[in-house]
Structure 1
Amino acid sequence: MTDDQAIAIIESEFKQKTLGVTEQYLEIHSPIYTDNKIKVDRIDRESKDGSIIAYLPVLSERFYFAVYIDTKTNKVTGVGTEAYHRVYFRATSETLTVEELKEMTNLTPTETWNKGDLRKRGKSNHTFSNFTILPNPEPDEFEDKLKKLLDHLEQDKDGIKRLVDNANGYIQVAMDTHNGNGMIGGPNIDTTDIRRMNEFGLSINFDLYVGGNSFRE
């Protein structure tokens, strides 16, 4: 199934609302259209059961519509929301410079700043140096993002361990979730990924944000 075919199936479902849940979501939130075509940020084809997940940005929100399509029947099987997840490795230090942090690993950082640098917003200065690795910024489920981050970090285990041991190295998660019915659920970390994090000596920190409109009664 091509991207255009998937988008056509989504547009048809959003117009006809054959699923009750589609109408339920569209009553309270809207997708984004560009040139009269529904905007899709990513189509996830990683499932082995012949299904795909399309992630659609939601107007004025950070979370996504998640549309599930069976590629065998060419039908939408479900509509929901997926949180906007940022899952990244971060090392900070009040004594080391960015260059010193970079020397500890051969992995390339996504974002850095030095202690004393001016913040992007405001007039204050950073009070610590920062080294961030965010390998998977695209829409995805938390569990997949965590696994992909660990896959990336395992390309230089010794380097990441040095950052954990010599700087404040940890995994940071920021989640913007839809508050549809007040039950936002929570992230799950399986035993395999717990063991993988433990091999680095990594802790994990969560920042959870809730937004959006509630379902109509």
Structure 2
Amino acid sequence: MTIERIQDLIKFELKTMEWGVTEQFMEIHSPVLFQNSVQIDNVAVTQNKISVFIPVENERFYLVFYIDSDKDQITGISTEPAIEICFKATSAVLSEAELKQYTHLEISESWNKGDIKQSGKTSYTSSGIIIEPNKKPNDFESKLNELISELKKDKGGIEALSKKADGYIQVVMNYHNGNGMIGGPNLNEMNIKDLNDLGLSIDFNFNVSGNLYRS
């Protein structure tokens, strides 16, 4: 299915609001537009199932359309959290360069103790590195599995960072507080086994924002 066809299906739904959830959502929020069409931040494909992630104006969560490519139709619509899942290692003793030496994996972000944070108001109290193989929006299971798969490529290095520094998996999820119920992620048996094999803990940070549904 082409991006053009996906955009046509979404544009038609936003105009006709055949799904009740579309009307409810459009009463309280607006999708981000780009060149008179909705902006698409990611199209995640699993077999014939497509998840289309559309950013929401002034918010961190996404409006998501689920499409069956075989049937050429929308099969569901919901809001989904913006999810950041990364491996993070920090140390008050080791420098940025020393932390990097423990792994050959690509570093997404790094800093030294004393560096000024992006906010410009405070400085880091420890050095750190972050490994985040994919920053595109997707569901929790897919993003976690992708990170674990990346970390397995250097099991020894990751284990060393978890021992020599404070190395762990960090999860930040930004939900839409539409009805006061946000749910939560699930760790399956294989996830738990993989985390144990890598010697890693996992830390969760949940945030909510946005307007409540009116009906």
Specify if TM > 0.5: yes
1-structure distance, mates of 2:17, 2:167:
47
- Stretches of structure 2 that go unaligned for 5 or more consecutive residues are none
Q: CA deviation at 1:187?
A: 0.9
Q: CA deviation at 1:93?
A: 0.3
2-structure distance, mates of 1:95, 1:189:
32
Instruction: Give the total of aligned pairs.
Output: 215
Q: CA deviation at 1:119?
A: 2.1
Greater Cα offset, 110-119 or 157-166 = 110-119
Aligned to 2:124: 126
2-structure distance, mates of 1:201, 1:34:
43
User: Is 2:12 aligned against 1:12?
Assistant: yes
Q: How does 1:15-94 map to 2 (within 5 A)?
A: 15-45=15-45, 47-48=46-47, 50-94=48-92
2-structure distance, mates of 1:25, 1:115:
43
Aligned to 1:164: 162
Contact 2:152 2:198 in 1 (8 A): no
TM-score (norm 1): 0.96
- Stretches of structure 1 that go unaligned for 5 or more consecutive residues are none
2-structure distance, mates of 1:32, 1:60:
9
Query: What amino acid sits opposite 1:35 in the alignment?
Result: Q
Query: What is the identity percentage for the equivalent residue pairs of Structure 1 and Structure 2?
Result: 44
RMSD: 1.0
Aligned to 2:174: 176
2-structure distance, mates of 1:26, 1:124:
38
1-structure distance, mates of 2:172, 2:61:
12
Q: CA deviation at 1:123?
A: 4.1
Q: CA deviation at 1:27?
A: 1.5
Q: CA deviation at 1:120?
A: 2.1
TM-score (norm 2): 0.97
Query: What amino acid sits opposite 1:72 in the alignment?
Result: D
